[in-house]
Amino acid sequence: MSVGIFVRTALAGWVLALFAMSGAAGAQGLREVKQGIASTLEVPMNRAVVVESDTPFAELTIANPGIADISSLSDRSIYVLGKSPGLTTMTLLDESGTLITNVDVRVAADVTEFKERLRQILPGEQIEVRTANDGIVLSGVVSSSSHLQRALDLAERYAPDRVSNLMSVGGVQQVMLKVRFAEMQRSVSKSLSSSIGLNHSPHGSGLSGSAGTGTTNTSGGVANSLSGNIPGSNENVGAVLFGFNVGAVQVGLLLEALERKGVVRTLAEPNLTALSGQEAKFLAGGEYPVPVAQEGGVYSVDFKPFGIQLNFVPRVVDKDLINLELNAAVSAIDRSNESTVNGASIVSFTRRETSTTVEMRDGESFAIAGLIEDQFLDNASQLPWLGDVPVLGALFRSSDYRRSQTELVIIVTAHLVTPTRGEAFMLPTDRISPPSEADLFLFGKTSRNRSAAAGEVARQGFSGSYGYVMD
């Protein structure tokens, strides 16, 4: 008697232990199999469930023992252990060999723990988890692409290389990027040079001189004072030429001075819209043909783009947080460094380029690049010894001073945008219309301004309230 009690107690403890080990899978409830009613039993892989039959059975079989393992705890209780993903059939027979029922046993990967971890890591996300054979299928709508990637990474830990992604990202997923290029260039150059010449002449003494801007007088004794070496014109803004005779000696003095200042302002504001994760390109400028030598002395033409260039890839990371991977460049043709190769003219380009990745929220701005460049050049040339003489040495010395400053700033602003109806946009051409013949020929107008719709309504002289009424 004591042995029987011990066996029954041990069996009951074993069943209770199985329920504890099955965890959430066992919490699905004690299943009941009814006679003559087909049913499906879901069993997690490497987990066990206990099934009750409403009719006592005498024989129990499983079609594929590799998918599930079964054993009878009593003539009504069945212990089912999931071994590998798949679908098989469990058959119950009574003492006379009559079929009680067939039960479809579906074994799938255990995703109970995965669901719990998913709720802890991504609370509030509407992600549905299903099993397919030995893999995991994720579906639903998530708030951002970063949360989608986190869910996929976590699923890979439970089913490596067996994760199917059917999720989609909700919310606004289109980004408009506003880029402002601002560049200022300042240049200053000053030069002062002098030339002196002596020439023997049999003529008597006299005095002559000439002064001008941009050109110099090259006739008479003034030109002879420098032995005919005075240029017919010069590039300097100011030039003064003196010539006089001292007995039979002709003396010529040429003073040239130049002061040049320049300011260049460049401003461009390209706007570009792209879908999250997709690349967008923008070019405002042109393409310059560059000859390229081929075999046999044949030349082909390669076109090099120049101007304002912008390439960027936006990614909506989390709600209004935007990740931007962008390349921006400002280039122009530089004729000052032009060269000739085999009779072909080759020009150079000035180019300022930046490539970076930044993160910002909707409506925020970021200065991604800045350049301050300051260059100066001082040159002095003189005759040996004579140029060192105080005061008078300036007649034998030439000086040149140049300085250039450049400041460049690139600022980007990102916005989350949604499409709207085309009537809501206004184009630059909407305010201008071609002139009538009378406006063109009688008044010389090349265009005619259009009035805005609001202005037309205001001039109609309505009395009382008009427009939209909102409750």
- Reported as a single tens digit per residue, the pLDDT across 194-209 is 776 666 655 544 444 4
Beta strand 77-82 pairing with 432-433: unpaired
Q: Among 190-199, 213-222, 266-275, which stretch is predicted with the lowest mean pLDDT?
A: 213-222
Which CATH code, of 2.60.40.10, 2.60.40.1380, 1.10.10.10, 3.40.50.720, is assigned to 39-108? 2.60.40.1380
What does the pLDDT average to over 133-156? 84
Intervals of CATH 3.30.1340.30 along the chain: 111-169
Give tens-digit pLDDT for 442-453.
Answer: 888 887 766 554
- Lowest-confidence segment of 80-84, 410-414, 432-436, 452-456 by average pLDDT: 452-456
State the pLDDT confidence band at 223, using cuts at 50, 70 and 90: very low
Q: Is the pLDDT of residue 26 over 50?
A: no
| Mean pLDDT computed over 234-238 | 56
What CATH number belongs to 111-169?
3.30.1340.30
**396 or 89, higher pLDDT:** 89
Q: Provide mean pLDDT across the span 361-383.
A: 84
pTM: 0.53
